[in-house]
Structures are given as structure tokens and as C-alpha cells.
């Protein structure tokens, strides 16, 4: 799918970011720093960067972030949603238990499409798609990051939902009767009481909706590439590292700015500004710097502002990059 997307959120501010609000009466949803995650044995590091979203499954109160801009009109529009998630190996769910990882809702919170985690003693853990329940499922493993994507073409009587887990397609759900979608929920909803333990992490959430959404969002390559394309402000890596180069790809405006800060806490007040790039013309690509390579101590925080900018970051090496073990090891001695 062609960039730009309607919304992107990577939680790299350590907060909700582009999401408008959260529902969390049980205080079990937060946005941990990688150093906080490292204190917990057998838990993953963020999919990318320094932060992610976390939900603790030890209570059953709904815990989810709400985006009020995920709007889709039936019959004339469609949408794609893609996010990363991680299920802890110590998750405890009762036989036939389900919980929703994501819901697209309409007026009065009526559910129009959803993604579900289900456990049965016969089939184990599965990810499923459907309108108000999982009607198409596929097995999912614990203890590793996954990518799940949903396509929704809502309509009255002929609505459809498609889904992909790690690029493998699920069976399409058809002949749905749906109303306009007004909000998106990401987190844990409708958890059953027999689900008593575990952690779910979320990262790298993308939504794109409208009258011509184009192709799928997709996975965008490996998790830790040497050349990293960033569509939003965030940490390219944490810890000491060297950038061979960083390029600004500007959108349809002359207001695009790329900054490189030496921090792993999204701090642009007390940290060192290492580089600034600005475009002069619309869609100017690329804008390259002088004075590279750049050596950073705490981490590489890329700040993007303006009309749909992107950053291409070429990483020579970084101690907190390349795998969960490298990030965790650095967190212990940070």
C-alpha cells in the first residue's frame, strides 16, 4: 500500500500517541520502556524502538486504546488495519476462552469487525477474524512477535472481512450486515474469567481507510534491517551506535523536517541534537546530510515533522539492535 497511511502509532512517546483515549478501569494497560520490560523474565522487547503497549491478563476489566479517527462509511469506503502483537508463554486461558485484540465499532459501540485470540484444549491458541466473534481462525504460537492484518469492506448484507497472520491468509468472512465504522479499539476486550494470567504486547499499529485504500499494508520486511525506513517519529535503535547515513524523503509540502537526537527516552529537551534535515521543494527525495557517519551514545531518536515525511536510516552497528537478547543485555547495563 502506498504511503501515507491514515494513522500510524508506535507508542514511541511512551504514551497513547495518536490514540484519543484509553479504557482501563483495572489499571492493567501501560506503555513500558524497554528497560522496564527487561526486568521481567521471559518477556519480549518492543517490536521496534524503545516502547510498546502492554496489557496484563491477571484481571478481566476491559483495557484498550481508542482511536476516534478510524472512520469507514459502508458501501463507499473500506479499510486495512495492521499491528504487531506478542503473547507470553505463561498465558493461562480456559477451554473455549476468547478475548478480542481489536474491534472496529460503529454507533453505540456496535461491533462491525474484530480480531480474536481463542484457546481450546483441542486446537490450542488461534487467531480469528469475524464481526462479533471469530468465524475464521488459524493457529498462533506463543513467545514471538506476530503481524496480524485485517481488511474490511463494510456493507448491508454483503460486507466482507479478510485477515492475514504473518502474511498467511485466513478464510474470508462474507455476507455481513454492517453499519458505518466510527472508532477502533486495540487492547483486550471481553476477556473471560477463566483467563487468569499472561501478558500481551502491541506495537507498530497502522490504519488506512477511505474510498481507495489500494493494496495491503503488509509486513514491511525484517524486524531489524540494516537500512530502516521510518514512517513516523521513533527510536531507530537504543544504546550506543553509529549511523552511516540518514535521508529525508519529503511529502507534498515544503515543511518536512528530520532531526536525529541522542536519546532512548524520546527526550528532545535535555538530549543532544545531532542532525537536522529540511526539504526545499515538494516531494524532494532524498535530502541527504553532510558530516556522516554519526555516533550516538544513548540511542537514535528520529523526529519527523511536516507533510508525510519518511526517514531512511542506514545503521552501521548498534548495541541495542538486531534481536531481543541484544536489547535486553544493553538494558541490564544501561
Task: Write down all domains in the chain, each with its CATH number in brackets.
Answer: 7-210 (2.60.120.200), 227-333 (2.60.120)
Taking CB atoms within 8 Å and a gap of at least 24, the contacts of 272-277 are 275/246, 277/246, 277/247, 277/248
Categorise residue 169: left if φ over 0, alpha if ψ from -120 to 50, beta otherwise: beta
Supply the DSSP string of 88-107, one letter for each residue. -TT-B--TTEEEEEEEEE-G
Whole-number Å distance between alpha carbons of 159 and 145: 30
- pLDDT 10s digit of each residue in the chain, 334 long? 568 999 999 999 999 999 999 999 999 999 999 999 999 999 999 999 999 999 999 999 999 999 999 999 998 999 999 999 999 999 999 999 999 999 999 999 999 999 999 999 999 999 999 999 999 999 999 999 999 999 999 999 999 999 999 999 999 999 999 999 999 999 999 999 999 999 999 999 999 999 888 889 998 789 999 999 999 999 999 999 999 999 999 998 999 999 999 999 999 998 999 999 999 999 998 999 988 999 999 999 999 999 999 999 999 999 999 999 999 999 999 9
Whole-number Å distance between alpha carbons of 29 and 70: 21
Amino acid at each position: 500500500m502506498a504511503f501515507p497511511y491514515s494513522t500510524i502509532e508506535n507508542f514511541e512517546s511512551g504514551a497513547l500517541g495518536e490514540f484519543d483515549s484509553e479504557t482501563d478501569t483495572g489499571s492493567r494497560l501501560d506503555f513500558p520502556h524497554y528497560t522496564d520490560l527487561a526486568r521481567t523474565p521471559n518477556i519480549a522487547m518492543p517490536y521496534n524502538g524503545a516502547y510498546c503497549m502492554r496489557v496484563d491478563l491477571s484481571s478481566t476489566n476491559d483495557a484498550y486504546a481508542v482511536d476516534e479517527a478510524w472512520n469507514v462509511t459502508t458501501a463507499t469506503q473500506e479499510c486495512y488495519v495492521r499491528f504487531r502483537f506478542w503473547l507470553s508463554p505463561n498465558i493461562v486461558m480456559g477451554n473455549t476462552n476468547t478475548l478480542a485484540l481489536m474491534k472496529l465499532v460503529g454507533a453505540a459501540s456496535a461491533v462491525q469487525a474484530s480480531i480474536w485470540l481463542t484457546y481450546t484444549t483441542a486446537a490450542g491458541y488461534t487467531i480469528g477474524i469475524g464481526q462479533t466473534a471469530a468465524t475464521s481462525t488459524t493457529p498462533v504460537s506463543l513467545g514471538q512477535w506476530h503481524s496480524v492484518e485485517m481488511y474490511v469492506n463494510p456493507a448491508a448484507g454483503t460486507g466482507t472481512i479478510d485477515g492475514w497472520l504473518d502474511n498467511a491468509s485466513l478464510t474470508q468472512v462474507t455476507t455481513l450486515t454492517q453499519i458505518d465504522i466510527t472508532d477502533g479499539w486495540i487492547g483486550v476486550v471481553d476477556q473471560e474469567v477463566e483467563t487468569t494470567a499472561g501478558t500481551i504486547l502491541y506495537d507498530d499499529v497502522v490504519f488506512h481507510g477511505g474510498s481507495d485504500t489500494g493494496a495491503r499494508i503488509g509486513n514491511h520486511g525484517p524486524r531489524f534491517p540494516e537500512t530502516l525506513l521510518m514512517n513516523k517519529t521513533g527510536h531507530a535503535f537504543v544504546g550506543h551506535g553509529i549511523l552511516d547515513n540518514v535521508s529525508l524523503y519529503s511529502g507534498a509540502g515544503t515543511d518536512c523536517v528530520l532531526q536525529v537526537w541522542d536519546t532512548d527516552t524520546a527526550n528532545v529537551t535535555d538530549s543532544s541534537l545531532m542532525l537536522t534535515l529540511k526539504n526545499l521543494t515538494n516531494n524532494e527525495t532524498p535530502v541527504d546530510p553532510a558530516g556522516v557517519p554519526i555516533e550516538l551514545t544513548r540511542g537514535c531518536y528520529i523526529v519527523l515533522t511536516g507533510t508525510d515525511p519518511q526517514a531512511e536510516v542506514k545503521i552501521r552497528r548498534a548495541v541495542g539492535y538486531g534481536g531481543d537478547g541484544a536489547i535486553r543485555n544493553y538494558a541490564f547495563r544501561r
